[in-house]
Amino acid sequence: MVTRTRFDDSDCPVARSVDAIGDWWSLLIVRDAFDGSRRFGEFQRSLGVAKNILTARLRTLVDGGVLASVPASDGSAYREYVLTPKGKALFPVIVALRQWGEQNFFAPGEPRSRLVDRRRGQPLRPLETLSEDGRRLDPDDTTVLKVPAP
Amino acid sequence: MVTRTRFDDSDCPVARSVDAIGDWWSLLIVRDAFDGSRRFGEFQRSLGVAKNILTARLRTLVDGGVLASVPASDGSAYREYVLTPKGKALFPVIVALRQWGEQNFFAPGEPRSRLVDRRRGQPLRPLETLSEDGRRLDPDDTTVLKVPAP
DNA sequence: GCGCCTTGGTAGCATGTTGCAACCAGAGTG
DNA sequence: CACTCTGGTTGCAACATGCTACCAAGGCGC
């Protein structure tokens, strides 16, 4: 078979995360969920994605425990998609991608959506990778211990 | 045409980042680059990816300024792929995905690769999303300011 | 209840993309 | 100068994506 390669049994947590999210659409769905989208139609309009793709991705995310399908909060008979705790734990991933994008793909002053602290209306601090004892770590200050081959 | 949807002109930095990286393979290539891989063959063996796919992804990453193709450091005539500063700036993204994967897809004690502080051999602190004035922010403490429609 | 619009999908088809295997040129090595 | 290693390219079959059309159930005016 020529199915897409899976990483769900990899030794590397990064690979398993990547596998669980599934594709880029899924990550943008999660982003929209953080932005407040809940309904099928909201995601569809916001992303401009084909409905069959959206259907499939929502199902994958629900099956993966990132989103949950719950009865609509407005009392109607429709359903809504909300982040589970596992989904909310993706927040640093989204923030990291956002900050990387801001720094590298926008001219100064170019209009863009902004993520702000609700209380003060200020942008967030850049994420910092810290050691156990609080030193800032660059990539070169770290190393990966691989699992010994079986 | 039915080409894959692009997001390189989106107002959202997350979308542009996603577009720039291209696909999941690319992210795993970047992960391996952080782990020390430099040569075509290293990436190929580590990932088990088809060579034509790897060729295409390396080219995309080089074109996108994430990797640079440089002469091999051992003096041979081959080339190596190293992270640019822009590529190294993806470190928090990889760390965030790694931590999410560790928390959600590994049983306690299940063998996995580990990212550690080179000096102490200790794992990193979990990433924290902080406000400008240092408060820890949950997703619900933030909001996204969208760009007004043109 | 009866039209009629909205919501949330499914079905079918044309293209694009992925994965695999085979092949190949140049670099290293004895 | 043979032989292997490295770093690819090419061709093909299967799968995924995107688009459009279609459809069923819910909501709403009356």
pLDDT digits (tens, 9 = 90+) for B39-63: 999 999 999 999 999 999 999 999 9
Quote the minimal CA–CA distance from B85 to chain A in Å. 11
pLDDT top residue among B3 and B54: B54
Q: A74 CB near a chain B CB, below 8 Å?
A: no
Residue B90 in this model has a pLDDT that exceeds 90: yes
CA distance A52 to A7: 24
Nucleotides of C under 7 A from a protein CB: 7-12, 14-22, 26-28
Top residue of A52, A97, A110, A116 to mutate, by most chain B CBs within 10 Å, is A97
Mean pLDDT of the region A108-119: 96
Mean pLDDT of the region B73-82: 89
pLDDT at A2: 62
Spatial contact of B129 and A124, defined as CB atoms under 8 Å apart: yes
pLDDT top residue among A85 and A6: A85
Q: Which of A92, A80, A84 is nearest to A67 (CA)?
A: A84
And the tokens for B138? 């949950």
Spatial contact of A91 and B97, defined as CB atoms under 8 Å apart: no
Architecture category of domain A1-106+123-150 in CATH: Orthogonal Bundle (1.10)
CA distance A142 to B142: 30
At position A113, the amino acid (one-letter code) is S
pLDDT at B4: 81
Q: Do B17 and A123 touch (CB under 8 A)?
A: no
pLDDT at B42: 95
From the CA of B48, how many Å to the C1' of D15? Answer: 19
pLDDT at A73: 81
Local confidence band at A149 (pLDDT 50, 70, 90 cut-offs): low
Bridge partners (DSSP) of residue A81 are A69
Q: A105 CB near a chain B CB, below 8 Å?
A: yes
Spatial contact of A116 and B145, defined as CB atoms under 8 Å apart: yes
Q: B13 CB near a chain A CB, below 8 Å?
A: yes
CA distance B63 to B84: 12
Mean pLDDT of the region B133-142: 97
Local confidence band at A108 (pLDDT 50, 70, 90 cut-offs): very high
Q: Do B118 and A141 touch (CB under 8 A)?
A: yes
Q: A144 CB near a chain B CB, below 8 Å?
A: yes
Bridge partners (DSSP) of residue A4 are none
Q: Which of B68, B49, B60, B67 is nearest to B20 (CA)?
A: B60
- The protein residue nearest D6 (Cα–C1') is B41
Residue A144 in this model has a pLDDT that exceeds 60: yes
Handedness of CA A38, A32, B57, B79 (dihedral sign): negative
Q: Do A97 and B134 touch (CB under 8 A)?
A: no
Q: Which of B52, B29, B24 is nearest to B42 (CA)?
A: B29
Residue in B with minimal Cα distance to A150: B111
At position A11, the amino acid (one-letter code) is D
Count of residues in chain B: 150
CA distance A42 to A17: 25
pLDDT at A13: 96
pLDDT at A148: 75
Q: B137 CB near a chain A CB, below 8 Å?
A: yes
Bridge partners (DSSP) of residue A82 are A68
Q: A82 CB near a chain B CB, below 8 Å?
A: no
Q: Do A93 and B100 touch (CB under 8 A)?
A: yes
Q: Where are the domains of chain B?
A: 1-106+123-150
List CB contacts (< 8 A) between B141 and chain A. Answer: 117-119
Q: Do B135 and A117 touch (CB under 8 A)?
A: yes
